Chain A
Amino acid sequence: MVSESETEGGILRFLATIDIRIVYFLLFVVVVGPLLYPIGMPISVSPDTVEFHDVIAEMGPDDIVLLHLGTEFSGWNELSAGSTASMRMLIEQGAKVAIISAHPEAISISPLLYNSLSDVMDANDYKYMEDTIDLGYMHPNEAAVASTASDFHGTVRTDYLGASIEGTFLDDINTAEDWSLIIDIQTGVQSAAMLNHYRVSYGAPIAKHCIGVSVPGAKADLDAELLVGVLPSLRGGAELETLIGAKGPGVAAMDAFSIAHYMLLIFVVLGNIGYFGYQRSASRRTTVGR
């Protein structure tokens, strides 16, 4: 026979002790649903994104920018919108771009970046080896980062496929201070090393596009003038796309992004209703019963 304590509570008990798999299933649904059936919710642009945009907007044909991929492929899912929008701006402004990877998985990112912007590159007559070079995996550890910062040509001689970089725009780079801007795409791979050896040692300006986990630290660095701009997470990427008028996958993801946030809030509220309505009174009844 089922005891009274096991049947009472009803909906409140359900909310307090919800099966975690229901939460997982609903998260899947609220993310995949809007991706399949976009709603087109409006988005606002934050001051951080405007500041990041303004830093990149200053780059021109005489500038050489380092795009540092300090991310695994998982981080690319979150950072691709902002990285692609940043690269688009640099191509359209004619700035030269070199790419360095700091994680083995990041070597598969640069081909995706070039492919997604192939139309923009063709439209602006932007060519590989003349305007952009992929240097591959050259930052495996902090010593390598310090090495490229202090003696670039002593460490880097070819692109990722082995073609010599002699005679290209990289001839003008000797140390970290020769870079006009560094856009650091970060999940935390060699992040501190870039700050230490590029910014602190040589004063190179670094603008960081980072995942949500790293945003508090990045804002602290921005406040300490270790960074010149911070673009936070997928939302920042979507905002940058909106700002430059090139809406892409970032903006398309914002429906799912918004709904998933609201879903979490609803679960927190419902869980607390269940807690105060059932669990707390149940524990009081148990205490009194003794």
Chain B
Amino acid sequence: MSMFFKRKDIQLTIVVLTFLVVFIPYFFNIPALDAFSKKLITIASLVNGFTLALAIHSQFRRASNQWRRKSRGYYWGAYMLICLIMMILFGIIGQESAPWHWVMFAVINPLSSVNYCILAFYLSGSAARAFRARSIQAFMLLAAGSIVLLYQAPLTGAVFPVIDPIALYLTNTFAVSVSRTIYLGLATASIVLGVRMLTGREVSFLGFAREE
């Protein structure tokens, strides 16, 4: 029975068959296969939900390693685990409960907000300290960035509307081009990776490379 899971060719065959069950009905009208494909997609979404249990395990392992080594500040790991367990308990009590509501709005929401908005400070700092027109390319970067920054301030459009067409030209052309370049590159890379996985050249996701 264990050979079923340990043999690379069997597992790869299952991967390819699963892929085809979901891929083919999208292009060919096969009602029975289409219905099974839809159920398989829901099944996969459920499986992905279980992988989050691995996240808890890694946090417990990190905290217990810190505690065992008694490294400096090891008690913070225990504090983190207490927070984790408390949140799970509050969730079991109910999402309409006062403790859940308190933690969401007093801890998680403010800290999530700071986590991302702090980048505004780092961007400001880097602009003040590192943005230098050392070369033609750097000057072009600064010039384009300055025009768009001016445009983005709503007051500029109201008192100095001349800048609007120039800024709109830059945002609707060059920014679109670079995004499109990135999209094309990423799409190529993901298709190549997918083909490598299906043809057995990339099997580390199944845990085989480590054993070999």
- Are the C-beta atoms of A220 and B183 separated by less than 8 Å? yes
- Chain A residues contacting B153 (CB-CB under 8 Å) are 257-259, 261-262
A267 to B161, CA, bound (A): 23
- Beta-carbon contacts of B194-212 to A below 8 Å, as 1s and 0s? 0000000000000000000
Residue A10 lies at the interface, judged by CB distance under 8 Å to chain B: no
Instruction: Decide yes or no: A264 and B45 within 8 Å by CB, A72-B112, A108-B109, A275-B132 being known contacts.
Output: no
Query: A44 is contacted by which of B109, B142, B158 (Cβ under 8 Å)?
Result: B158
Residue B5 lies at the interface, judged by CB distance under 8 Å to chain A: no
Residue B136 lies at the interface, judged by CB distance under 8 Å to chain A: no
Query: A73 is contacted by which of B26, B49, B113, B124 (Cβ under 8 Å)?
Result: B113
- Chain B residues contacting A257 (CB-CB under 8 Å) are 153-154
Majority DSSP secondary structure for residues of A touching B: helix
- Are the C-beta atoms of A271 and B44 separated by less than 8 Å? no
A223 to B176, CA, bound (A): 8
Residue A121 lies at the interface, judged by CB distance under 8 Å to chain B: no
From 242 to 269 in chain A, residues with beta carbon under 8 angstroms from any chain B beta carbon are 254, 257-265, 267-268
- Beta-carbon contacts of A81-113 to B below 8 Å, as 1s and 0s? 000000000000000000000000101100000
Q: Which of B9-17, B59-67, B114-122 contacts A (4 or more CB under 8 A)?
A: B114-122
- Are the C-beta atoms of B48 and A264 separated by less than 8 Å? no
From 59 to 80 in chain A, residues with beta carbon under 8 angstroms from any chain B beta carbon are 72-75, 77
Residue A180 lies at the interface, judged by CB distance under 8 Å to chain B: no
- Chain A residues contacting B113 (CB-CB under 8 Å) are 73-74, 77
A11 to B192, CA, bound (A): 55
Query: A267 is contacted by which of B95, B124, B154 (Cβ under 8 Å)?
Result: B124
- Chain B residues contacting A12 (CB-CB under 8 Å) are none
Residue A150 lies at the interface, judged by CB distance under 8 Å to chain B: yes
Chain B nearest CB, measured from A216 CB (Å): 4
Query: A27 is contacted by which of B120, B149, B154, B158 (Cβ under 8 Å)?
Result: B120
Residue A141 lies at the interface, judged by CB distance under 8 Å to chain B: yes
- Chain A residues contacting B131 (CB-CB under 8 Å) are 268, 271-272
| Shortest 4 CB-CB contacts between residues of A and residues of B | A44-B157, A43-B154, A143-B45, A74-B116
Majority DSSP secondary structure for residues of B touching A: helix
Instruction: Decide yes or no: A20 and B128 within 8 Å by CB, A140-B48, A219-B171, A265-B146 being known contacts.
Output: yes
Interface size class of B (residues with CB under 8 A): 35 or more
Chain B nearest CB, measured from A32 CB (Å): 13
A47 to B149, CA, bound (A): 17
Chain B nearest CB, measured from A34 CB (Å): 11
- Enumerate 5 A-B pairs (CB-CB under 8 Å) in ascending A order: A23-B121, A43-B154, A216-B179, A235-B152, A271-B131
Apart from A143-B44, A146-B41, A267-B128: 18 A-B pairs, beta carbons within 8 A: A17-B129, A23-B124, A24-B124, A24-B125, A42-B159, A44-B161, A73-B112, A74-B115, A74-B117, A141-B49, A155-B42, A160-B95, A216-B176, A261-B149, A261-B152, A264-B124, A265-B150, A275-B132
Residue A154 lies at the interface, judged by CB distance under 8 Å to chain B: yes
Closest to B172 in A: A219
- Are the C-beta atoms of A217 and B179 separated by less than 8 Å? yes
- Beta-carbon contacts of A138-164 to B below 8 Å, as 1s and 0s? 001101101100110011000011000
- Are the C-beta atoms of B180 and A220 separated by less than 8 Å? yes
Residue B24 lies at the interface, judged by CB distance under 8 Å to chain A: no
Closest to A197 in B: B41
- Chain A residues contacting B145 (CB-CB under 8 Å) are 268
Query: B117 is contacted by which of A77, A262, A264 (Cβ under 8 Å)?
Result: A77
Closest to A139 in B: B45
Instruction: Decide yes or no: A41 and B171 within 8 Å by CB, A72-B112, A141-B48, A261-B153 being known contacts.
Output: no
Instruction: Decide yes or no: A151 and B115 within 8 Å by CB, A44-B158, A219-B175 being known contacts.
Output: no
Chain B nearest CB, measured from A83 CB (Å): 15
- Are the C-beta atoms of A151 and B42 separated by less than 8 Å? yes
Residue A50 lies at the interface, judged by CB distance under 8 Å to chain B: no
Instruction: Decide yes or no: A27 and B108 within 8 Å by CB, A75-B116, A141-B45 being known contacts.
Output: no
Query: B128 is contacted by which of A46, A72, A74, A271 (Cβ under 8 Å)?
Result: A271
From 129 to 186 in chain A, residues with beta carbon under 8 angstroms from any chain B beta carbon are 140-141, 143-144, 146-147, 150-151, 154-155, 160-161
